[in-house]
Amino acid sequence: MSRRPSDGAVADRDAEAVDPLRPADAIDGKGEPADGTGDGITSPKLGFVGWMRWGWRQLTSMRTALVLLLLLAIAAVPGSIVPQRSADPNGVSQYFSSNPTLAPILDKMQLFDVYSSAWFSAIYILLFVSLIGCIIPRTKHHFTALRARPPRTPARLARLEDHRESLVELEPGEDAGHAASRAVDLAASLLRKGGYRIERYDSRGSASVSAERGYLRETGNLIFHTALVGVLVAVGLGGGFTYTGQRVIVQGTTFVNSVGTDYSSFNPGRFVDPDSLTPYTLKLDKFDVTYVPFGQKDAGQAGDFAAHLTTQLPGQSAQTGTVRVNHPLQIAGDDVYLLGNGYAPTITVRNAKGEVVFHDTVPFLPQDNNMTSIGVVKVADGLPEQLGFVGFFYPTQVKLGSGAFSSAYPNLLNPVLTLNVYGGDLGINNGIPRSVYALDPTGMTQLTGGKTGVKSIELSPGQTTQLPKGYGTITFENDSPAGAKDQSQAVKRFVSLSIHHDAAGPWALAFAVLAIAGLLLALFVPRRRMWVKATPAGDGLRIEYAALARGEDPTLKAAVDDLAAKHAKALDAAGAASVPDQAAKAPSVD
């Protein structure tokens, strides 16, 4: 039994002698020559240009592009959680009111403007540069590879893992060199039919063909990354030509596609000219909705919503259209979406002399599934003081055990309107914008309801009652058509529409489809090389088949077997007989 020396003894021995199996000028792991002479290797210091080149290579690597793509997806998440000024300015205002401490912090982090924030733009631009810097050199390399000849046949094909060999007998007197060339010609024909690029290489008494295929894999890869750049450009540049606006339309009224007159809110892209919008019109003829009847499961649940509109483009005849949830109406390149709906009671206020000082159909915003709705009426002129009305509308009024009112069903079975009256300054003359759907009672005096001791005003369609302090009267108008036998049409409906013009949508979709097509090519097209070599061996030919894949290719072995089988059939048809399988399986000798 031999004894292994200790680590210290090995170190002493290495210090006294150099490993005889290593060259004298070999460099060890510490950068020192193996013989202990010289100063070793000193890496040069990177200057400014060197560091810039290193940083560019890191930025344009595929790994960095994937990381930036992931960061971009993560950075977009706050945009779906926090309301955005570009899409929901009223939601942002409400967020500030509900979260006065947190909202300013989020605003400094630009979370209310995620998609135009500095940090989101930085990720977006870096991803764009990374993809461009990655695509250009790879495209040049791929173009060069497409023009290059298939590689020369290796001298020892048996060293490749996927290798087959067979022996073919020749006819007496047949020239072996000619037979080898003919066998390789047959193999080349089969490979060409299989989509391979081929090149003949004959040397040292052997004939061979080199073939390769699968360049569509890299082509698909480049298409995928180029399409990603296209998506980024379409979204980034096309967003500047996109606009979104919202408008509430009451039954029987008309909306004009003009920023200066009819939009409740309008959010244009940076390249949109608000004065150049196509001035088409939308008129709400009626709004249809079905509810599950009383006595059935899920009674009151809404079914189909349908807003029936009359549309008209300048200089053209009027057309009819319908807007449903997730089924927008398209007009002049705009998509009109149905966002919501509700009831809009018609209210008339007269002064003590009987003169009409207010008459309007006011949208009331639904608060629950049974369409219990809240609305605000503001009378600024014509009365001794400004009045504000906070109203509650109940399509089917019921009285709860607590004495409060509620709606038991969303349809008009027992419509009732209740109003609390406030007197004082409405704050609409100080230049500060005020929402038409909210009333700030600060500085105003409550005249009815609450702790005033005066009952709230309660009206059914067609009823009129006196205002406090003898200011006049208020009427809840009945809008039922002539001949109506019930109150099912006593109150008009309204719809909330979103008009969206997306210039980037078609381009982004086209590039997304192109990216998917490129990805499929990159995933399912195998990149491989195959060789067939025929060498004279005595009275016959030794034919070798070999293949090499770039990356994972589980079908490579089957491809070699298939080629060998087809080639054997072609040789048989040409008049050559192959040796039995045991000869084909005989090991080759280098």
What pTM value is reported for the model? 0.65
The Cα–Cα gap between 583 and 473 comes to 112
Q: What is the per-residue pLDDT for 432?
A: 60
The Cα–Cα gap between 98 and 88 comes to 15
Residue type for position 251: Q
The Cα–Cα gap between 565 and 559 comes to 10
Q: Is residue 203 domain-resident?
A: yes
Question: Over the stretch 38-47, which tens digit does the pLDDT of each residue have?
Answer: 555 666 777 8
Q: Is residue 34 domain-resident?
A: no
Asked if 469 and 405 sit in the same domain, the reply is yes
Give the Cβ contact number of residue 210 at 10 Å: 23
Structure tokens at 422: 């406030």
Question: Coil, strand, or helix at residue 406?
Answer: strand
- Kindly indicate the confidence band of residue 33, based on its pLDDT and cuts at 50, 70 and 90: low
Q: What is the per-residue pLDDT for 580?
A: 40
Asked if 267 and 332 sit in the same domain, the reply is yes
Structure tokens at 44: 């040069």
Question: In this prediction, what percent of the chain has a pLDDT beyond 90?
Answer: 45
Asked if 334 and 350 sit in the same domain, the reply is no
Q: What is the domain count for the chain?
A: 4
Residue 49 DSSP code: H
Asked if 404 and 465 sit in the same domain, the reply is yes
Mean pLDDT (the chain, rounded): 85
Question: How distant, in Å, are the alpha carbons of 126, 166, 538, 540, 543 from that of 583?
Answer: 61, 7, 14, 12, 11
Q: Is residue 263 domain-resident?
A: yes
Q: Is residue 220 domain-resident?
A: no
Q: What is the per-residue pLDDT for 199?
A: 94
Asked if 334 and 359 sit in the same domain, the reply is no
> Any bridge partners for residue 225, and if so which?
none
Does the pLDDT at position 237 exceed 60?
Answer: yes
Asked if 326 and 360 sit in the same domain, the reply is no
The Cα–Cα gap between 213 and 549 comes to 10
Which domain, by its residues, includes 250?
243-293+300-343
Asked if 420 and 365 sit in the same domain, the reply is yes
The Cα–Cα gap between 256 and 296 comes to 42
Asked if 353 and 304 sit in the same domain, the reply is no
Q: Is residue 509 domain-resident?
A: no
Q: What is the per-residue pLDDT for 267?
A: 81
Q: Which of 101, 136, 171 is the last residue of a domain?
A: 136
Question: Over the stretch 493-504, which tens digit does the pLDDT of each residue have?
Answer: 999 999 999 888
Asked if 352 and 334 sit in the same domain, the reply is no
Asked if 125 and 186 sit in the same domain, the reply is no
Here the CATH number for the domain that contains residue 538 is: 3.30.310.50
Would you give the end-to-end CA distance of the chain in angstroms?
39
More confident site: 551 or 366 = 366
Question: Coil, strand, or helix at residue 432?
Answer: coil
Asked if 101 and 187 sit in the same domain, the reply is no
